[in-house]
Amino acid sequence: MFNRPVVFVIGAGASADYDMPLGGTLASTIAEDVNFRFRGNSRSEPIRGDNILYELLVSKFNKDGAQLDSYVAAGHKLAAAISSAASVDDALYQLSEFPEAIQLGKACIIRSILKAERNSALKFSPDTGRLPDSAGKDGWIEQVLSIAIAGLRHAQFPEAFKKVTFVNFNYDRCLEHYLFWSFQRLGLSADEATKIVDGLTIIRPYGTVGSVLDGRLDHVPFGDGSRLDVFNMLDRIRTFTESDALHDKEQLERLLSEAFMCVFLGFGFHKQNLDLLARSKNLQKTEVPRILATIYKVHDGNLPALTTALADRLRVNNPRIELLPMKAPELLQELRLRLTLVLG
């Protein structure tokens, strides 16, 4: 069990273990979806681009041909920007003066995340409509769950994550989805699992497509395949180029200050994301005892600058930062003993 406060910072690399898309894959998919092409002057059905997305645009702007054309043009701008950008977010920043492109990009992100959830390693079984018991057992969430419930009886499971904070920079709901079904696999009722997931401390700087928990106002089933009007859901997410991140900055700084350890899993260390984690420069360094971070496939030449950036943002002395060339599940497996001794 985690008896001391710990913060897990979750990046796209962690979700990639469940077959969720990394930035480059997501960008190329969105570029294909929005690059609408038609036969002649017809606007009835695109011969290139995502038909369902276009149908959503038609249903929303069919009575305003000029507005519909502006979104089609925005799709061309977005596809062109993505072709030379490092990510969808970078492309949207380039197009920040074109609101239609921003809205279209965010709508595509929501649709792409739901589709990726639907096809992920955590997809529902078509036979039972549930998460198969074996799904995701090799992933990082199972490793965290296993540490959290170690030494606990069933009646104590609701206490398993009381000292845990997740700072999740991803839009997907793999974490909540997996824990909801895993607690049921372990013998809890759906209501009991719901209460635990509802009580998790999850900070999402960029929001999410909605809650996986039934009955919530923003409920969207994991991998929802229905034709949602995603244009009515745009306020649920932010891109990293939007200034109004969807979290309480004071709460995040407090939780980081209270943590005995901060563990980065699959994090890309983009400057904007690191800035969102920055603690007050008035704080003395070493106030967070230890940082562990996965740096899978990060070149050694980047490590001195990365260590300095983490030290400056989190107010930690360099020797307290460990960068490990592992994936998220490997770090949690190989260092389980250490995590248990330090945090248990």
* Averaged pLDDT, groups of 10, the chain, 344 residues long: 96 93 85 90 82 89 83 94 86 90 93 94 91 94 97 95 96 97 96 97 94 94 90 88 74 90 95 88 69 95 95 89 96 96 91
Which pLDDT belongs to residue 2?
A: 95
Same domain, 183 and 47: no
> Does some domain include residue 269?
yes
Same domain, 167 and 260: yes
Q: What is the CATH number of the domain that holds 199?
A: 3.40.50
Q: In this structure, what are the phi and psi dihedrals at residue 284, rounded to the nearest 5 degrees?
A: -75, 150
> Does some domain include residue 235?
no
> Does some domain include residue 114?
yes
Same domain, 145 and 70: no
Which pLDDT belongs to residue 282?
A: 72
Which pLDDT belongs to residue 243?
A: 62
Same domain, 150 and 114: no
What range defines the domain where residue 75 resides?
A: 23-118
**165 in Cβ contact with 288 (< 8 Å):** no
Which pLDDT belongs to residue 122?
A: 97
Query: Which residue, 235, 234, 231, 238, is CA-closest to 52?
Result: 231
Same domain, 16 and 94: no
> Does some domain include residue 297?
yes
Contacts of 174 (CB under 8 A, 6+ apart): 15, 18, 20, 117, 120, 122, 136, 141
The separation between CA 81 and the C-alpha centre of its own chain, rounded to angstroms, equals 23
| Residue 223: C-alpha distances to residues 14, 112, 113, 117, 183 (Å) | 18, 10, 8, 5, 20
| Residue 114: C-alpha distances to residues 108, 111, 172, 198 (Å) | 10, 5, 8, 20
> Does some domain include residue 99?
yes
> Does some domain include residue 308?
yes
> Does some domain include residue 221?
no
**End-to-end CA separation in angstroms for the chain:** 5
> Does some domain include residue 163?
yes
The DSSP-derived string for 194-239 is: HHHHHT-EEE-TTB-S-BSSTT-TTB--TT--S---GGGSGGGB--
Last residue of a domain, one of 51, 84, 118: 118
The separation between CA 89 and the C-alpha centre of its own chain, rounded to angstroms, equals 14
- The CA distance from 204 to 328, in Å, is 19
Indicate the number of domains in the chain.
Answer: 2
